[in-house]
Chain A
Amino acid sequence: MSEEWEPKIVGFLCNWCCYAGADMAGTSRMQYPPNIRVIRVMCSSRINAEMIIKAFQSGADAVFIGGCHPGDCHYVDGNFRTKKRVDVLKRLIGYVGIDPRRLKLEWISAAEGEEFASTIRKFTEEVREIGPNPLKELAEEMV
């Protein structure tokens, strides 16, 4: 399994900054690994613990959340709420045996295409090193 295993990353990107930054990476043809699957939301603060845990429960090897830089949030301070939630959740998932490094929050602006591509490149490598999500096997066994 380990030879064929490719990390699967769920990405939640806010429409105004990070999603636009990912679009910019595309327009500029900047390459990054195809492991991330992006779900667009209007603001990163739409994402709550339930959704992140659902992703891990369902076998995601990592969850990436991308929001606007502090001060740039389209909704004033939604990104701060996301940061608070993610900080708490990181500690919580560590508690139940999920490596907190599997959950990442980054600020990427609409102009930072290269920043998006390199962040995803680095994060994919990081997840590759951490290995498969232990919950995945568990879930498969339960089935």
Chain B
Amino acid sequence: MNISNTVDVKKVVEAISKLPSVAICSDYQYMCSDPGQELIKRSIKEHDLDAVVVAACSPRMHEPTFRATVSDVGLNPYCFEMSNIREQCSWVHSDKEKATEKAIDLVRAAVARALLLEPLQSEAFPVVPSALVVGGGIAGIQASLDIANSGFKVYLVEKEPSIGGHMAQFDKTFPTLDCAACILTPKMVDVARHPNIELLTYSEVDSIEGSVGNFNVKVKKKPRYVDMDKCTGCGSCAENCRLVGKVKSEFDMGLAKRGAIYVPFPQAVPLKFTIDPDSCLFIKHGRCGKSPKCVDACTTDAIKFDDTEKIEEFNVGAIVVATGYKEFSAGKKQEFGYDLYPNVMTGLELERIFAPSGPTGGKPIIDGKVPKSIVFISCVGSRDKKVGNPYCSRVCCMYIAKQAHLLKEKIPDADITVMYTDMRSFGKGYEEFYERVQKEGIKYRRGNAGEVYENNGKTYVRAEDTLLGMPYEIEADLIVLGTGLEADPCAENVGKMLHLSLSSDGFFLEAHPKLRPVDTVIDGVFLAGTAQGPKDIPDTVAQASGAAAHVVNLLSQKEILSEPTIAVVDEDACVGCKTCMLLCPFDAHEFDEDKGVMTINSALCKGCGSCAAACPSGSIKMNHFTKDQIVAQILEVL
């Protein structure tokens, strides 16, 4: 039906049946279904076929399905060809006659190509039974624990000194109002204690080479200037640091100050101190008073100023990318005066104000006083094409509801207004929570804020109530921007190393939006959490467990089959000009000095065919995409 709406299938069958090389041509409504596949198998046996063409959906969808079908009855899986007459024909054209004509051309080309297809053999190679997880937020933590609990070794790499990610910064979680630290820190401790997890904090992935089953990973361990084995986490170094209370704490969003030697937060895992080289006087200037106070204070002699960057190298069979998100830079929305007024803050900053270990010890004190009039502005940096983020960040409506509730609890006489675009309370228990918050006296007014401005030392928010069709103004002591989620630019490097694609929103692209939401198109590389797109904690945890299941599935196989669609050199024809060698992005080409010819390493070749296209003597054959096969297609479609 998908195809027959615009393509006259009978006509296609008629035209293709007439081709001299076609032994049998039949149509079936759902070729990918069991009876459809049986039909193919029967036809292969009855007609002793050399090759099979299926004209249906995209090969990106069902090529693997049909390859398995034909190989079930002994046909080489590479003697199968798929013609995409759905995604690239029936679904995109409405003129039935022309679409039919095009479909016939496409199938004819596939048949011509099928005649030239050659059987290819895969090689089996072993799978390294370990995994790399990039990112130690809740997604990376969950994925690591699941993989490690299945008995496989995990390397968890986190760029900050502690794992925990953004979730560690939150005070309570919506809609259950669970304390974030109370549910997160036990998991963090589990990670640290797990015999199968090697935790690499304050580290970044430096390079990744290889492919599914065997990736070679190099991780750069930044110097901590503290001996991890000796540090007991007692904290006397930090208390004595000359700069204590002078350096902005990243974890507290710059609202609190730390010293040059620090742990990001009291429950950090590992609970080991780190010296920030950008502020430490001894590292910057070579001296810190008579002697560095941290050294004097440390009873275990753990301070190590001669610490250097180290590279750790290991091999893994699979990779989970859980690089998380970055909060939208609120300063980009200049109309809200984030950079101008101290009482305008972001959602994440307010989380730190709420936190008992935060800058105000959990007391709702903003700019020195307890706010009485509070305005929340939703969709800051989300659903906003002007800042390049047309998507919904999915969590802001609910964290605003939660924060409004917490403020009301702490300041019962506060007047709280939420200026919202549309209310999106889609998760389990979310709508109920939203209703509860409204009953608590929080005012929800539809319509986004226009600007925040100051007059006579007072701050005002100007907005339009789109339900009443009326502009209005509120004087506010605290304005909270419901900042959205953006792809973390730090993730870009990892994405490049793995050749991952990005969606138009800048987050990593999954292999299929519906059916393969944790896979990427790169075999052996999986996505977890907000690296793939904005999501709340339950969805993040679910996806992380999903990614872990895929990793375990892969690692449980002792060996996997190589892709035989690679370039091969005809040694008799090669003149040894080395043109191909310069082109290969994977260094798969190696010159055989004895024979004077080029060789291609089958484990390194990824099958792009660039070398085959450039070889002046035509002696490189790109398996499954040979020149003859492509030319045959060209001739048939014209």
How far, in whole Å, are A109 and B505 apart by their CA atoms in the complex? 12
Contact B585 A41 (CB under 8 A): no
Q: Pick from B84-92, B278-286, B444-452 the stretch touching chain A.
A: B84-92
Give B596-638 interface residues, CB cut-off 8 Å to A: 606-610, 612-614, 622, 625, 627, 630-631, 633-635, 637-638
The answer to whether B609 and A46 touch across the interface, beta carbons within 8 angstroms, is: yes
Task: Give the contacts of B575-589 with A (CB-CB under 8 A).
Answer: 583, 585-586
Kindly state the separation between the CA atoms of A110 and B87 in the bound complex, as whole angstroms. Answer: 13
Complex formed: what's the CA distance from A81 to B580 in Å? Answer: 12
B438 within 8 A of A: no
Q: How far is the CA of A45 from the CA of B615 in the complex (A)?
A: 12
Instruction: Kindly identify which residue among A6, A32, A39, A109 contacts B501, using a CB–CB cutoff of 8 Å.
Output: A109
Question: Bound state CA distance, A32 and B633, in angstroms?
Answer: 22
List A contacts of B509 (CB < 8 A): 110-111
Residue of B nearest to A46 (CB): B609
Distance of B541 from chain A, by nearest CB (Å)? 26
A residues in contact with B627, CB < 8 Å: 50-51
Alpha-carbon distance between A89 and B164 when the two chains are bound, in angstroms:
54
In the bound complex, residues from chain B placing their C-beta under 8 Å from that of A29 are 91-92
Asked if A76 is at the interface of the complex by the 8 Å CB criterion, the answer is yes
Q: For A8, list chain B residues within 8 Å (CB).
A: 637-638
Contact A32-B610, Cβ < 8 Å, known A26-B86, A72-B501, A72-B502: no
Separation in Å of the B388 CB from the closest CB of chain A? 14
Enumerate chain A residues within 8 angstroms of B610, measured Cβ to Cβ.
43, 45-46, 75, 78, 81
Q: Are A31 and B87 in contact (CB under 8 A)?
A: no
In the complex, A37→B112 CA distance in Å?
14
Q: Is the CB of A27 within 8 A of B502?
A: no
A26 touches B58 (CB 8 A): yes
Q: Which of B43-51, B99-107, B288-296, B421-429 contacts A (4 or more CB under 8 A)?
A: B99-107
Cα A30 to Cα B59 in complex, Å, equals 19
Q: List the A residue with the shortest CB-CB distance to B93.
A: A34
Distance between Cα atoms of A27 and B88 in the complex (Å): 9
A38 to B85, CA, bound (A): 10
Question: Contact: B93 with A31, CB < 8 Å?
Answer: yes
Candidates B86, B91, B501, B622; contact of A110 at CB < 8 Å:
B501
Q: How far is the CA of A71 from the CA of B627 in the complex (A)?
A: 27
B169 neighbours in A (Cβ, 8 Å): none
Q: Which of A6, A15, A46, A109 contacts B622 (CB 8 A)?
A: A46
By a CB distance below 8 angstroms, the chain B residues around A127 are none
| B98 touches A (CB below 8 Å) | yes
The docked-state distance in angstroms from the alpha carbon of A10 to that of B109 is: 12
A75/B630 in contact, CB under 8 A: no
The distance in angstroms between the C-alpha atoms of A17 and B609, with both chains bound, is 16
Interchain nearest-CB distance for A115 vs B (Å)? 9
Give Cα distance in the complex from A43 to B59, angstroms.
Answer: 15
Q: Whole-angstrom distance between the alpha carbons of A20 and B634 in the complex? A: 20
Instruction: Please name the residue on chain A nearest to B105 by beta carbon.
Output: A37
A42 contacts B502, C-beta separation under 8 Å: no
Q: Given A20-B60, A46-B613, are A39 and B88 neighbors across the interface (CB < 8 Å)?
A: no
Determine if B499 and A76 form an interchain contact, defined as CB atoms under 8 angstroms apart: yes
Interface status of B553 (Cβ within 8 A of chain A): no
Residue A59 at the B interface, CB < 8 A? yes
Which residues of chain B come closer than 8 Å to A83, judged between CB atoms? none
- In the assembled complex, which residues on chain B have CB atoms less than 8 Å from the CB atom of A103? none
A59 to B59 alpha-carbon distance, docked (Å): 27
Q: Does B521 contact A (CB under 8 A)?
A: yes
Beta-carbon contacts under 8 Å, A84-143 to B: 85, 109-112, 117
Bound Cα distance A74, B109 (Å): 26
One of A43, A109, A111, A117 near B609 (C-beta < 8 A)? A43
Proximity string of chain A (7-40) to chain B, C-beta cutoff 8 Å, 1 when within and 0 when not: 0101000011101101101110111111001111
- Asked whether B565 lies within 8 Å of A39 as measured between CB atoms, the reply is no
Whether A59 pairs with B608 at a CB distance below 8 angstroms is: no
CA gap between A74 and B606 in the complex, in Å: 9
Residues of B within 8 Å of A, CB-based: how many? 52
Chain A: interface size category: 35 or more
- Residue in A25, A74, A85, A112 whose Cβ sees the most chain B Cβ within 10 Å: A74
**Contacting pair A34 B58 (CB below 8 A):** no
Contacts of A47 in B (CB 8 A): 613, 630
**B95 interface residue per 8 A CB criterion:** yes
Kindly report which residue of chain A lies nearest to residue B113, judged by CB atoms.
A39
Q: Is B150 an interface residue (CB 8 A)?
A: no
Name the residue of chain B whose CB is nearest to the CB of A63.
Answer: B634
Beta-carbon contact of B87 and A39 below 8 Å: no
| B611 to A, closest residue via Cβ | A45
Q: Which A44-75 residues have a C-beta within 8 angstroms of B? A: 45-48, 50-51, 54-55, 58-60, 68, 71-75
Bound together, the chains give a CA A6 to CA B58 distance in angstroms of 25
Q: Specify which of B95, B586, B608, B635 lies most central, judged by the most chain A CB atoms within 10 Å of its CB.
A: B608
User: Which residue on chain A has the smallest CB distance to residue B86?
Assistant: A26
**Contact between B109 and A37 (Cβ–Cβ < 8 Å)?**
yes
The residue from A27, A50, A72, A109 contacting B91, defined by CB atoms under 8 A apart: A27
Are B59 and A10 in contact, with the CB atoms below 8 A?
Answer: no
Name the residue on B nearest A110 (C-beta). Answer: B501
B514 closest partner in A (C-beta): A27
Q: Are A39 and B521 in contact (CB under 8 A)?
A: no
Q: Is the CB of A78 within 8 A of B634?
A: no
- Compute how far the CA of A30 lies from the CA of B622 in the bound complex, rounded to whole angstroms: 33
Known: A78-B585, A117-B92; 19 extra A-B contacts, CB below 8 A, are A10-B637, A10-B638, A16-B501, A23-B61, A26-B87, A29-B92, A37-B105, A37-B637, A39-B109, A42-B625, A47-B613, A48-B613, A74-B501, A74-B606, A77-B585, A81-B610, A109-B504, A110-B509, A110-B521
Residue numbers of A with Cβ under 8 A of B are 6, 8, 10, 15-17, 19-20, 22-23, 25-27, 29-34, 37-43, 45-48, 50-51, 54-55, 58-60, 68, 71-78, 81, 85, 109-112, 117
Where the two chains meet, the residues of B that have a C-beta atom closer than 8 Å to any C-beta of A are 58-61, 84, 86-89, 91-95, 98-99, 101-102, 105-106, 109, 496, 499, 501-504, 509, 521-522, 565, 583, 585-586, 606-610, 612-614, 622, 625, 627, 630-631, 633-635, 637-638
